[in-house]
Structure 1
Amino acid sequence: MALVIYWYDIVCFGIVAASLGVSFWVLWRRELASKCDDNIIYQSLLVARPDITDRTVVPAMPGNHVGSSQLWTSCWKQVHPGWLLATRSISFLVMAGLLWKDIVEWDATIFIYYTEWTFMLIMIYFALGTVMSAYGCWVSFKQPSCVLNMAKNLFS
């Protein structure tokens, strides 16, 4: 019983290895080296910002804390949040369509397989990401400078 490896297997292994290498490089450059350069005193995803008028308060979060704006922005500053919204919403809709097709074809008994549960959890992840991206687009469109910069970049 020998394992036969063809030339296209090596190409596939190379594509996966290159993707893995680029992913680790982006994570290393963007996530591990990130610093909170905002001048915000309080930043939390779960708790609303308290009304603080005294500026002598010590910052509540460490420097590499994930803020709410990082949920709806890309690590590349020139990318508009609308592109992330489009990517997440299209992914959610395609995955919902595929799951619906499985349920119609195989009935609800398809959920005896853990892969369907995993697929549904990833779909929920994209749904939550779509909601966060929609909020981010709403926030970015409320700022008039962002709309003007986007229009200037569009027509230049």
Structure 2
Amino acid sequence: MMQLSDTTDSTKLSYWLNWRVYLCVFSVSLCMVLACFTIWKRESSRNLTFDKQENQQDRDLCGDEAWKPCLKNIHPACLLAFRVVSFTYLLASLIVKLYASRGVTFYYYTQWTFTLVTIYFGCGSMLSVYGCYTCRKSRDANINDDITRIDAEQGPELPLLYPNATNVSRTERLADPHINIQKNQIAPIWSYIFHILFQISAGAVMFTDCVYWLIIFPFLTLRDYDFNFMTVNMHTVNFVLLFSDAVLNCMRIPWSGMSFFVLWTGVYVIFQWIIHACVSIWWPYPFLDLASPYAPFWYLMLALMHIPCYGFFMLILEMKHYFLSKRFPSSYEC
């Protein structure tokens, strides 16, 4: 557990009534308002409809990108296996940390992010299960289609293996076996939520690990600080697993997705303000202490750090997509 060596009584009214607090509140509020406006503009321009009667081509949102690997040669079961193993490990680590800290662990941004990544892999595992099911159903439909074609060409009466298989265009199914499904069966809203989790996690894991390894670990003096395996685990494994999943999946993150990441951090900061207004307690991160004369500077720097943290992860994904499209053009899925 990390605690500051000095704690200022934040429950006093004088703590909050000064220009530093006003400036920090204004900067955080401005970032969150701009993030909400960006999300509103982005979503208002999208055609998010979930009516099963609507043609899938008229939608901006599909469901298969949540479980499709980036290459056709990679079976969705591989992505499923990785997500299940990752989710199991993250959940076990979270339970151990929660038990050891008796719930205080959620006082830190690190555990917020770690929990978010755990939820991401949990949702991803369920979507990958659905993807494997639809691929299996698609393969069975292909077998049924081939038998029907042989029956029409050669004459022998062969029983249909799956008489209730959907009559999907054979050309479309054979062109891409991973997309060989009834796309309208998956609720696009779950893919949409999963993509939001991916965008938040992409920035949050970079932000968490960079702040810890570049600022907290080398420069800040903390009391009762135990540097152990769990500490390294919480500030490293989240990035490694999410990065590996990003390499395997076919999702992208747009610049506008950083708005969700900004809101995530903003909610945490407001949570800290509310806690400290009610209880005189240490700040989990010293640069959040509004009593510091450098508080406005720290808040500004943390806000600006969101751009390179999110941008770096986005750059990695774009490089991956570019490399795969050039190196494996026939197998590239995205």
User: Which range, TM-score by smaller chain?
Assistant: 0.5 to 0.7
Q: Counterpart of 1:138 in structure 2: which amino acid? A: Y
Q: For 1:144 and 1:89, locate their aligned partners in 2 and report how far apart those are by CA, in whole Å.
A: 23
Q: CA, structure 1 residues 66+77, in 2 after alignment: closer, same or farther (shift >3 Å)? A: farther
| Contact persistence 1:72–1:136 (CA under 8 A) | yes
| 1:64-105, Cα deviation, whole Å (9 max, x unpaired) | x45211111111011100000011111110000000110111
Q: For 1:144 and 1:72, locate their aligned partners in 2 and report how far apart those are by CA, in whole Å.
A: 17
Q: For 2:113 and 2:96, locate their aligned partners in 1 and report how far apart those are by CA, in whole Å.
A: 16
Q: Counterpart of 1:49 in structure 2: which amino acid? A: K
Q: Counterpart of 2:130 in structure 1: which amino acid? A: Y
Count of residues in Structure 1 that have an aligned counterpart in Structure 2: 97
| Contact persistence 1:45–1:68 (CA under 8 A) | no
> Taking every aligned residue pair, what percent have the same amino acid on both sides?
31
Shift of 1:144: 2.8
Structure 1 position 87 matched with structure 2 position 82? yes
Point out 4+ residue stretches in structure 1 off by more than 3 angstroms. 145-148
Shift of 1:60: 1.4
Aligned to 1:47: 50
Structure 1 position 134 matched with structure 2 position 129? yes
Q: Counterpart of 1:89 in structure 2: which amino acid? A: V
Aligned to 1:67: 62
| Contact persistence 1:99–1:120 (CA under 8 A) | yes
Q: Counterpart of 1:132 in structure 2: which amino acid? A: L
Q: For 2:136 and 2:76, locate their aligned partners in 1 and report how far apart those are by CA, in whole Å.
A: 10
Structure 1: gaps spanning 5 or more residues: 1-43, 53-58, 149-156
**Higher Cα Rg, which structure:** 2
Aligned to 2:139: 144
Aligned to 2:161: none
Q: For 1:123 and 1:110, locate their aligned partners in 2 and report how far apart those are by CA, in whole Å.
A: 15
Q: CA, structure 1 residues 73+103, in 2 after alignment: closer, same or farther (shift >3 Å)? A: same
Q: For 1:145 and 1:50, locate their aligned partners in 2 and report how far apart those are by CA, in whole Å.
A: 24
Structure 2: gaps spanning 5 or more residues: 1-46, 144-334
Aligned to 2:102: 107
| Contact persistence 1:140–1:146 (CA under 8 A) | no
Structure 1 position 122 matched with structure 2 position 117? yes
